[in-house]
Amino acid sequence: MSVAPMMDWTDRHCRYLHRLLSRHALLYTEMVTTGALIHGDVARHLRFDAAEHPVALQLGGSEPQDLAQCARLAQDWGYDEVNLNCGCPSERVQRGAFGACLMNEPQLVADCVKAMRDAVQIPVTVKHRIGIDRVEDYGFVRDFVGTVAEAGCSVFIAHARNAWLKGLSPKENREIPPLRYEVVAQLKRDFPQLTIAVNGGFASDEAVHEQLAQVDGVMVGREAYHNPWWLARWDEQFFGQPASALTREQVEEDMVAYMEREAAQHGTHWYAIARHMLGLRAGLPGARRWRQVWSEHRLKALPARQVMQLARTKPGAAVAAG
């Protein structure tokens, strides 16, 4: 089980929350481009809390040597895995000649994987789609996986939709191309020696169990973010380990302690962290008001612990305090 890399969402603060809920799920960073690491602030992009392990860095790029250099950075900073993005369909990413458009160049992806594997000892994995545009020929994704596997990649995470490179926004690309889980199951049958995980549209234990009967892993995206409390069942449901003993209130308190440490060490405002836990009480009575308190910009001048206290008081108190 893993939580998908999601731009603007799975930053280190989000991952800290998710780790409180599941001790065993693999967590992924947002995609970081090779250019951002080679020419930008490495610490800003790669810093993470030791509590996040196991954690994987997802890279966006298409130059083998640049990817090798960034894979070394990932290893040096202590990441447990480095993942190559071959699934993002955005036009901005396409202009950089990486993401889903790389599926049209499987040998280049193989060269990238080989360069990265030669540079590091940690696993190098690939996340991809099952096709490009409206072409639904299974042979396309089969040959892509086969070519990249020859370069030594043994773990593939397949988002079970095609990527439409023109005409759809990234959001529409997550919703409009139909999910075809059977394609990913066929990949596992054709490549039994590989680890094949499936991504796309999962929102229940039952749906995950159904896939785990056919493939090796499931990656969850939006549902894990909007309903993070689901992760509190994962260790018991999918790893055969004791479930998290934390209550939602204890998770909130641990996040406030984390906010206080982040403010002291890095000057991070609690507001930048709290946005990731707004779904923590999803489905419970009072969840809407609790969420409103934690997202109320008029409370930003208050300490995080005081905001937590306001979120737990009767309606109207938080607005009055603001």
Does residue 205 contact residue 229 with C-beta atoms inside 8 Å?
no
Residues 174, 178: Cα–Cα separation, whole Å = 9
Q: Which of 11, 23, 44, 45 is nearest to 225 (CA)?
A: 11
Q: Which of 14, 86, 88, 153 is the catalytic position?
A: 88
Exposure string over 154-192, b if 16+ CB within 10 A, otherwise e: ebbbbbbbbbbbeebeeeebbeebebbbebbbbbbeebe
Secondary structure of residue 162 in the 3-state scheme? strand
Residues 285, 290: Cα–Cα separation, whole Å = 10
* Complete DSSP assignment for 183-248: HHHHHHHH-TTSEEEEESS--SHHHHHHHHTTSSEEEE-HHHHH-GGGGGGHHHHHHSSPPP---H
Q: Which helix (H) or strand (E) holds 257?
A: helix 248-266
Beta pairing partners, 126: 84, 156
Does residue 2 contact residue 25 with C-beta atoms inside 8 Å?
yes
Q: Which of 148, 97, 171, 127 is nearest to 28 (CA)?
A: 127
Residues 125, 71: Cα–Cα separation, whole Å = 11
Torsion of CA 290, 291, 292, 298, to 10 degrees: 100
Residue 101 bears catalytic tag: no
Residues 202, 242: Cα–Cα separation, whole Å = 22
- Catalytic sites, residue numbers: 88
